[in-house]
């Protein structure tokens, strides 16, 4: 059941939280340097303060999902890519559950697990999310450069998903294709946790910005 899933993911998060912060620090710094951006330049692009970006890059702060999404948008990448490893030909095609990276949003408390093998060169990426009862995550960041298609499949529980002027109530078994270059709000209005799968794939026919998800 979903309660056991959230307890197991929370345990994994507690064991690896410092490693997650170190990974985010390395990924953000690497992407920023690759694009020739200074701390001030990225701060101007994203609206996130220079001091906050510096703290994150030194692994001295646990950023929220909203802040990470703004930074990802400023770098022209997906939020998911900040948690992923750089693609490499030597990467294993297998990711054991015990090795999958788990992260907790310090603001909403939602937990995300990277399911896909880290660094393996595949156009598909899978992420598992557990959203606690009453949790809410709202995104309103700018466009990105990479075209990505995204679907969300509810495994257990239910969520309310606002996409611009539309609102979708998603129940267990429902699957939604998400084209969300617009304000996006995830809510769990129920009294139990919800668990869902997010699938992202590179879209060769699209030059539109990439998508976001919690």
| Residues 62-80 pLDDT 10s | 999 999 999 998 998 888 8
What is the average per-residue pLDDT within 156-175? 95
Give the pLDDT confidence score for residue 211 in this predicted structure: 41
Give the pLDDT confidence score for residue 140 in this predicted structure: 78
Alpha carbon of 97 to those of 93, 111, 115: distances in Å?
A: 13, 15, 8
Phi then psi dihedrals of residue 21, to 5 deg: -60, -40
Domain residue ranges in the chain: 1-214
- In the predicted model, is pLDDT for residue 176 greater than 70? yes
The strand order across the sheet containing 158-163 reads 136-139, 184-187, 158-163, 166-171
Q: If you average pLDDT over every residue of the chain, what do you get? A: 85
Q: Kindly report, residue by residue over 3-55, the tens digit of the pLDDT.
A: 555 555 555 544 456 689 999 999 999 999 999 999 999 999 999 999 999 99
Give the pLDDT confidence score for residue 25 in this predicted structure: 95
Q: Which residue has the tokens 């101007």?
A: 44
Give the pLDDT confidence score for residue 209 in this predicted structure: 39
Give the pLDDT confidence score for residue 208 in this predicted structure: 41
Give the pLDDT confidence score for residue 180 in this predicted structure: 58
**All residues at 6 or more sequence positions from 59 whose CB lies less than 8 Å from its CB, including other chains:** 18, 21, 22, 24, 25
Partners of 171 in the β-ladder: 158
Query: Considering only CA atoms, which of 134, 118, 112 is closest in space to residue 5?
Result: 112
Task: Name the CATH code of domain 1-214 (choices 3.40.190.10, 2.60.120.10, 1.20.120.430, 2.130.10.30).
Answer: 2.60.120.10
Identify the helix (H) or strand (E) that includes residue 113: strand 111-114
Rounded Cα distance, 198 and 40, in Å: 33
The residue that leads in pLDDT, 78 or 175, is 175
What is the average per-residue pLDDT within 125-132? 95
pLDDT band at 134, cuts 50/70/90?
very high
């Amino acid at each position: 059941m979903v309660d056991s899933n959230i307890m197991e993911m929370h345990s994994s998060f507690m064991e690896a939280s410092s490693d997650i912060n170190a990974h985010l620090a390395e990924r953000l710094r690497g992407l920023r340097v690759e694009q020739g951006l200074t701390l001030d330049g990225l701060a101007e692009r994203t609206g996130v303060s220079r001091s906050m970006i510096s703290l994150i890059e030194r692994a001295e702060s646990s950023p929220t999902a909203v802040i990470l999404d703004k930074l990802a948008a400023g770098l022209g990448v997906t939020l998911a890519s900040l948690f992923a490893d750089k693609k490499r030909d030597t990467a294993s095609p297998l990711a054991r559950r015990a090795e999958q990276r788990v992260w907790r949003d310090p603001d909403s408390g939602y937990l995300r697990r990277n399911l896909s093998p880290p660094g393996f060169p595949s156009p598909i990426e899978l992420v598992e999310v557990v959203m606690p009862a009453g949790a809410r995550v709202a995104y309103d960041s700018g466009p990105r450069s990479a075209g990505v298609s995204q679907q969300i499949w509810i495994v257990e529980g239910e969520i309310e998903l606002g996409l611009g002027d539309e609102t979708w109530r998603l129940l267990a078994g429902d699957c939604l294709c998400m084209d969300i270059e617009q304000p996006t709000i995830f809510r769990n209005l129920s009294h139990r946790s919800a668990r869902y799968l997010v699938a992202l794939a590179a879209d060769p026919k699209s030059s539109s910005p990439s998508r976001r998800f919690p």
